[in-house]
Structure 1
């Protein structure tokens, strides 16, 4: 019932993404938006108003992993209407390992071109303390993102751009000072006691969009989802409208992947002040025969 067509599966492998897909109703995602809006606060960053989000488990401000305590949010990404489609893209056994809130105030800058693979073990010159994921040697990388609109979004609000087929190539990135990279609001999330800002950096990808077939998504309705591999080059323009832009993202991997491998070296606190011992993955389909991560099953 909740299946991708053969054309959609082929498009995913060819382009690196598919969507928008009709999955949730406006009422379903509206309740999620209201819940995460309740833990938000307005702050100023370089004279631009932004929203930050208080994490009740970690005791810090972060846009990530609120599904660890917010069941409405985790339910969205565990829903069979999402997971059954992911199973068609190559894996029966899946962990939900990370979620994010991507909110943009009117006039707020977007996110430039990037592959979300800069914190994987096979990325060149990666600092081991910055690792998010450690993939088994020789295993084909699978890390799928589900991007869900919580409001009706137009191109003026900043939807998504993709470089079709770019998931077959790895692009280098250069280090820049914190706040000059992909996510300038990182400066509001950073925990200076955990990691001084002077020692932190962000990254900018070396990518020429003129060399690729670029495809934009002009409109995404509330409850619709876009599914893509984190290896595909993508961007989200600035919010040039007078409305707020609300998006949530879930990320999925195989159980064979080690999440936050620094825990194996007893490094428990990340650069944002989060105690990684409180982190866990959620088994959303199949089984976990590896037992290398803290995993729970809810549904």
Structure 2
């Protein structure tokens, strides 16, 4: 018998999401709960030997794949987090009953760090040197992209670098992900755009613009302030960014979990992940079934946790 979806989105919320491309924030943890989970989890996050990308080849001294990507596959709290009904019920309201989580990322922003530049992601191929789409929707799909649940593991304020959205920009892409975007670690925290420190972790996202003279309409931007323990849902195709961290002492930590319906193919043309100057094998990677069932057999899914690892199964 199917579980009742306690946290399904209402008709009004679905209409709002269709219009704006995002909705929230929603309460998930109290501030005290989230702080407690952070204290328990930080030592595990610092230990990357159990990460599915621990054997990755590092280039230019960059190690963020093992430390920041897909830690839900080796850290129990994050594994439980991506399947929380508060998130999954709302996601399945948008994507249908059969959903998976295919990627998670940790986004720390330390005092003095630049903001994240305006960007959109449809198939996530733009930072892959091989130019392979990471996700492939069916040809008859009405849309692409992924639903991101971004959770504030710490407070997210304008001062310490909260998210920004431009509502309603999720239905058309201003960027061509087939273009080449060059990784350059020398530009991290060095880019200035109209007087604001804003980059993309060593990439200049403007290299992907369809029109080199186009600029986002920042007058319509919304700053998404969130208390510690809340989350928000948005389409990856929505124009989004973040403020710089201009505080002296407040680190901001966000955790993004990304969801798809099970008919979407994940990494169909790749056997390695190549991003941010580093590469790692996808041998230990697998999707997590978060609701319903897999009727298609397109993707690998993870099985049970054994000694810190989640073993992929077909």
Per the shorter chain, which TM-score range? 0.7 to 0.9
Structure 1 length as normaliser, TM-score?
0.79
Using the TM superposition, name which of 173-182 and 252-261 deviates more. 173-182
Q: 1:278 to 1:298 in 2, by over 3 A?
A: closer
Q: 1:202 to 1:67 in 2, by over 3 A?
A: farther
Please name the residue that 2:269 is paired with.
262
Please name the residue that 1:246 is paired with.
253
Shift of 1:150: 0.9
Contact 1:128 1:262 in 2 (8 A): no
2:285 pairs with one of 257, 279, 288: 279
Q: 1:127 to 1:261 in 2, by over 3 A?
A: farther
Number of corresponding residues: 266
Q: Which runs of 4+ in 1 moved over 6 A?
A: none
Please name the residue that 1:50 is paired with.
none
Give CA-to-partner distance per residue, 1:82-127, whole Å, 9 cap, x none. Answer: 111112123111000000000011111121100022625xx8xx86
2:296 pairs with one of 287, 290, 295: 290
1:21 pairs with one of 22, 26, 31: 26
Please name the residue that 2:97 is paired with.
92
Please name the residue that 2:169 is paired with.
166
Q: 1:117 to 1:225 in 2, by over 3 A?
A: same
Please name the residue that 2:226 is paired with.
220
Using the TM superposition, name which of 25-34 and 105-114 deviates more. 25-34
Using the TM superposition, name which of 135-144 and 173-182 deviates more. 173-182
Q: 1:211 to 1:99 in 2, by over 3 A?
A: closer
Using the TM superposition, name which of 25-34 and 227-236 deviates more. 25-34
Contact 1:270 1:276 in 2 (8 A): no
Contact 2:119 2:239 in 1 (8 A): yes
SS of aligned partner of 2:256? strand
Give CA-to-partner distance per residue, 1:8-63, whole Å, 9 cap, x none. Answer: 2211110000111112223443344335532566xxxxxxxxxxx83523215321
Segments of structure 1 that go 5 or more residues without pairing to the other structure are 42-52, 187-200
Shift of 1:212: 6.6
State how 1:29-40 maps to structure 2 within 5 Å: 29-39=34-44
Contact 1:107 1:238 in 2 (8 A): yes
SS of aligned partner of 1:278? coil
Q: 1:3 to 1:118 in 2, by over 3 A?
A: closer
1:11 pairs with one of 13, 16, 24: 16
Shift of 1:261: 1.8
Contact 1:148 1:225 in 2 (8 A): yes
- Tell me how far apart the structure 2 counterparts of residues 237 and 15 of structure 1 sit (CA, whole Å): 20
Aligned residues: CA RMSD = 2.8
State how 1:116-155 maps to structure 2 within 5 Å: 116-117=121-122, 119-120=124-125, 128-140=130-142, 141=144, 143-155=146-158
Greater share of strand residues, 1 or 2?
Answer: 1
Q: 1:269 to 1:222 in 2, by over 3 A?
A: closer
